[in-house]
A and B are shown apart, each in its own frame.
Chain A
Amino acid sequence: MKKIKIVETASFVPQKIVTNDDLSQIMDTSDEWIKTRTGIKQRHISIGENTSALCLHVAQKLLEKSGWEADSIDLILVATMSPDSYTPATAALVQGKLNARNALAFDISAACSGFIYGLKVAEKFLQQGSTKRIMLIGGEVLSKVIDWSDRTSAVLFGDGAAGVLLESQVTGDSDFLGASLHTFGEFGDKLEAGKTTAISSFPNLSEHHIKAFSMSGRDVYTFATHRVPESIVQAVKTAGLSLEEIDYFVLHQANSRIVKQIAKKLAQPLAKFPMNIAEYGNTSAASVPLLLDELIAQGKIKRGAKIALSGFGGGLTVGTQVIIY
C-alpha cells in the first residue's frame, strides 16, 4: 500500500480586517457578545477578489514553497461552499490560471467538512495508481453569501483559503492512518446557503431567487457536539491509535465553545485543540488547512506528529482524518 504525505501547506487571507466593533457600527451587536459566544474577535473580508482568486494565491504559494512545476500536478481539488459560479468549477479556474495543463480539476461541495472530504477523495486517487501529485485547497468568500441583516449568523464568518500538496510515496513515516466520514442529509435544511428555487411558471417567468445563508443554531450546535466526538473516536480507532496518542486535534473553527465542548466529551486536554477562530472567524472549508498551515509555520506540528483533522457542517456532514504529518 502506498503512503500519503502532506508535502506542503499554504494559506492566504484577504487584507481587509473587520473587527467586532466594526460590525457593531452596522448591526445591533457588540464585541463582548460575539467574543463570549463564539471566541471570534475579527475576520478577514475579501474586497473584489472571488473564491478562485483566493485559491490561486494559495496555489501559487504552494508551488513556490515546494518547487513543484504546475504541469507536474495530476489533480486539483477545491473544497468550497461559495464557488465563483455553478460552472466552471472553482478548481478549473485555478487550474487554468495556474496553467496546470496535466491536471484534472473539480470542486468538492461538503461545506465545512469539504477539506476532510477532499482528503478522502485525494487518498483514493493516490492509491489508484496513475495519480502522483494532488493540490487540495479549501477556499471561501462567505461574505458574498451571508445575510448581512441577520446578526445571529453574519458575525460568525470570514473569508480565506488554504491548501496542501499531497503525494504518494513508498517510504517515510508520513501517512493517512484512518478516517470516519458521515453525511446526514435528512438535516440538510438546518444549514443552507445559496438555495435556489425552480421557476414557478412558464412562459411567465418569475425572477430567479438565490437565498442567502441561514442556519438553525441549536441543531447545528447539537449536531457538532454529538457527531464530531463520535467521528473522532471512530477515526482514531480505525487508525489503530488511542486518543492519548494524538498530538493535536485540528478541528473546524466554527465556534470556540463547540471546540471546548468536544474536548470535554473526548476527555482530552484543551491544549491539544489549537484554535485561531479569534483572528479569522469561521472560514468553512478553509478553516482546517488554515489552522494546519499556521501550526506547521509556528513549529508546533512537526514531521512525525499524529494529527486528527476534523470538519463538520452543512449537509449536514462530518469527517475526521487521522494522519502522521
Chain B
Amino acid sequence: MTEQEIFEKVKGIVVEQLDVDAADVKMESDIKNDLEADSLDVFEIMNELEDDLDIKLEADENVKTIKDVVDYVKKEIDAK
C-alpha cells in the first residue's frame, strides 16, 4: 500500500469513529487535540486498522498526529 492509500484508509476510519468531516482530517492533524479523540477512540481506530489490514498495532505507541498513524501502519505492513 502506498502512503496515500494508507492515509485514505485511516481517514475513512477516523471520520467514521470520531464523526468529523473528511476535510478536517489532514496528515498534520493532532488526533487528540484537533480531532478531539480520547483514549477509547484511539483503541477503536487501531482496532479497525488491525482488522482491515491484518496487522498488529499497539494503542500506546507514540502516535500523536494522523501522519504518525500512517507511518506506523506503513512500518507494520512493510514488516509483514
Contacts and interface: CB of A to CB of B under 8 A. Distances in A.
Interface string B31-57: 000000011100110010000000000
Interface in B49-80: 59-60
Interface residues of A, number: 11
B44 A261 contact: yes
A122 B69 CA distance: 48
A273 interface: no
A37 B39 CA distance: 8
A225 B40 contact: no
Contact of A37 (B38, B59, B60): B38
A218 to B, nearest CB: 5
A222 B43 contact: yes
Q: Secondary structure of the B side of the interface?
A: helix
Nearest to A222: B47
A218 B43 contact: yes
Given A37-B40, A221-B40, A226-B47, 4 more contacts: A36-B38, A218-B59, A218-B60, A261-B44
A217 B46 CA distance: 14
A190 interface: no
Nearest to A152: B39
A217 B38 CA distance: 13
Interface in A219-276: 221-222, 225-226, 255, 257, 261
Nearest to B51: A226
19 contacts: A36-B38, A37-B38, A37-B39, A37-B40, A217-B39, A217-B43, A218-B43, A218-B59, A218-B60, A221-B40, A221-B43, A222-B43, A222-B47, A225-B44, A225-B47, A226-B47, A255-B40, A257-B40, A261-B44
